Amino acid sequence: LDPARFISNRSSGKMGYSIAKAAWRRGAKVTLVSGPSSLPAPFGIQRIRVETAEEMQTAVNEHVDSADIIIKSAAVSDFKPAIYHQQKVKKQSQEEGVVELARTPDILNELGKNKKSGQILVGFAAESENHLEEGRRKLQQKNLDFIAVNNIASDITGFEADTNKITLLSQSDTVELPFTSKEHTADLLFDSISRKLKN
């Protein structure tokens, strides 16, 4: 909004970092495009730090052609302030605190539109209600191979938690992963995806 204020959300990055580390342990060359997070860069992994949705899109697009699998767990903002104030806005200057918002690019949606043949695209859906319906809708709408649906209405399965419980949807399947650590969830995610692709 201005040099002192911003709009963000509760995402910690823990799920994405766990996925990056699990992929690296399995022998993948990993590029981690990370929004603001206090987590340290994982060993062996190229980390690109970004702040805005546009910066994330640029970084993702620079690496998209060389990626066999793209997993987008980032909680990208859907809106940004329509106006950025170069100087800190004074409270005396406004009677009411109305902030106008503008849409950000939907990075995953664009990736789905331009998907290379053979490339695997995995999205995340953080939902507080109608989890599976919303997940299926996004799977189709964004042309994804898989979508991991999680419940953010709970303290132990969503933003900031060290644990998660994911339902992995594909065009033909619904796989319930158990409640477990985010680290273990990442491993189970790759087990499920590779089992499905082998079939």
Query: Which residues are at the interface with ligand C5P (CB under 6 A)?
Result: 53, 72, 74, 76, 78, 104, 106-108, 123-125, 138
The DSSP code for 148 is E
Least Å from the CB of residue 87 to ligand C5P? 28
- Residue 139 to residue 132: CA distance in whole angstroms: 10
Catalytic residue of the set 9, 61, 114, 130: 9
Q: Please, what is the minimum distance in Å from the beta carbon of residue 7 to ligand C5P?
A: 13
Structure tokens at 62: 């620079």
- Output 55 or 106, the one with its CB closest to ligand C5P: 106
Q: Considering beta carbons, is residue 104 or 154 the nearer one to ligand C5P?
A: 104
Picking from 128, 180, 178, the residue whose alpha carbon sits closest to that of residue 15 is 180
Lookup: tokens for 188: 């189970």
Please report which helix (H) or strand (E) contains residue 2, including its range.
Answer: none
Residue among 9 and 94 whose Cβ is closer to ligand C5P:
9
The three-class DSSP label of residue 81 is strand
Least separation in angstroms between residue 29's CB and ligand C5P is 21
Nearest to 54 by CA among 17, 106, 15: 106
Instruction: Give me the least distance between CB of 73 and ligand C5P, in Å please.
Output: 6
Quick one: 17 or 124, whose CB is closer to ligand C5P? Answer: 124
Whether 164 is a known active-site residue: answer no
| 23 phi/psi in degrees, rounded to 5 | -65, -40
Which are the catalytic amino acids? 9
